[in-house]
Amino acid sequence: MITRGKLAKATGIKIETIRFYEKIGLLAPPERTAGNYRAYGQDDVDRLSFVRRARDLGFSLDQVRTLLDLADDRSRSCCAVDEIARAQLKAVEEKIADLLALKRELGSLIEQCDQGTIADCRIIGALAPAEV
Amino acid sequence: MITRGKLAKATGIKIETIRFYEKIGLLAPPERTAGNYRAYGQDDVDRLSFVRRARDLGFSLDQVRTLLDLADDRSRSCCAVDEIARAQLKAVEEKIADLLALKRELGSLIEQCDQGTIADCRIIGALAPAEV
DNA sequence: TCTTGACCCTGTACTTGCTACAGGGTGCAT
DNA sequence: ATGCACCCTGTAGCAAGTACAGGGTCAAGA
């Protein structure tokens, strides 16, 4: 018998998060013991590990839900899976591009800082429209 | 007289977001007209533009609040500003590194996809622990 | 003058992905 | 029998907004 705490340890997902996943229907409600404790099985460990890996790869819970559904239907073509992964890759690439632009802007702002007063601070100046 | 809609247009921040900023105390509640409309001035346009630029640079609302406070005290040293900007740069760089790792993983997953069935899908396989 | 339509007001609930209580019950060892 | 670690439930909170619902206001056109 695997309790919630053990499931948490086995998968690296916090107890509260497991409850949250159960609440939103990502995990099926497990059997209960006589004392009303959740009793998980190896299936649950597997499923939750799947969720964790997908989350680590940046998939949204909604995408994870879809991936789980797809994974259950083993005879189906994996085009849909590929599509989700590609969408995720694209999102990641866009995010990286955005952050690189940000990094450049921040970097040049910081470089100009000469440690004077706020009045002639380049960073504040760059943020302010004309005169603060 | 600048209404909320005009302030939104002038700054590119949505009306609802302006209300939200007012609610959390980032923007001072403005004067009201006889008909209970908010009446903004150029100050508000400037302040909100400042917020927008800072948000665009990825600063949190909390950081923005601090930057606004700092910007108001023009005689002060701008070390604190520099510090916030550096912290933000560091956060951005870390995020970029994370996303690059993610991108590599996703990319290699997708490359292996041979458009077969779910049963031999590499992506599902990589997510599942041993056997799904 | 009336009415239409664009704007404004308020409060509240929803989003994503959790996290953190409070206030109690269970189970095992000492 | 009592202490402690663990479990249970419900609820509220975080960032940073977004989206209604159900009204009020204002200016222009018929």
First to last CA, chain A: 64
Q: At what angle do helices A4-11 and A42-56 cross, to 10 degrees?
A: 40
Long-range contacts, stretch A54-58, CB < 8 angstroms, 24+ apart? A54/B127, A57/A88, A57/B102, A57/B105, A57/B106, A57/B109, A57/B127, A58/A88, A58/A91, A58/A92, A58/B99, A58/B102, A58/B106
User: Distance in angstroms, CA of A51 to C1' of C14?
Assistant: 24
Chain A: nearest CA to B42, how far in angstroms? 11
Residue nearest to nucleotide D5 (CA to C1'): A5
- Per residue in B81-111, pLDDT (tens digit) is 999 999 999 999 999 999 999 999 999 888 8
Nearest to A76 among B86, B93, B117 (CB): B117
Nearest to B74 among A72, A99, A118 (CB): A118
Distance CA B89, CA B10 (A): 28
Q: Dihedral sign for Cα B59, B65, B66, B71, please.
A: positive
User: Distance in angstroms, CA of A95 to C1' of C9?
Assistant: 37
**One pLDDT digit (tens) per residue for chain A, 132 residues:** 899 999 999 999 999 999 999 999 999 999 999 999 999 999 999 999 999 999 999 999 999 999 999 998 877 878 889 999 999 999 999 999 999 999 999 998 888 877 778 877 888 888 887 654
Nearest to A118 among B49, B81, B117 (CB): B81
- Per residue in B23-55, pLDDT (tens digit) is 999 999 999 999 999 999 999 999 999 999 999
- Is strand C within 7 Å of residue A50 (CB)? no
CATH architecture, range B1-57? Orthogonal Bundle (1.10)
User: Distance in angstroms, CA of A15 to C1' of D5?
Assistant: 15
Task: Give the closest nucleotide to A35 (alpha carbon vs C1').
Answer: C26
Tell me if chain B has a CB within 8 Å of the CB of A66.
Answer: no
Distance CA A72, CA B124 (A): 10
Q: Provide the CATH number for the domain formed by A1-58 in this structure.
A: 1.10.1660.10
- Is strand C within 7 Å of residue A31 (CB)? no
Residue A52 in tokens: 């964790």
Sketch the domain layout of chain A as residue ranges: 1-58, 77-132
- Per residue in B22-31, pLDDT (tens digit) is 999 999 999 9
Tell me if chain A has a CB within 8 Å of the CB of B117.
Answer: yes
The reported pLDDT for the residue numbered A91 is 95
Q: How confident is the model at residue B76 (pLDDT cuts 50, 70, 90)?
A: confident
In order, the DSSP letters of chain B are -B-HHHHHHHHT--HHHHHHHHHTTSSPPPEE-TTS-EEB-HHHHHHHHHHHHHHHTT--HHHHHHHHHHHH-TTSBTHHHHHHHHHHHHHHHHHHHHHHHHHHHHHHHHHT--S-BGGG-HHHHHHSSS--
**CB spacing of B89 vs A95 below 8 angstroms:** no
Chain B: nearest CA to A10, how far in angstroms? 12
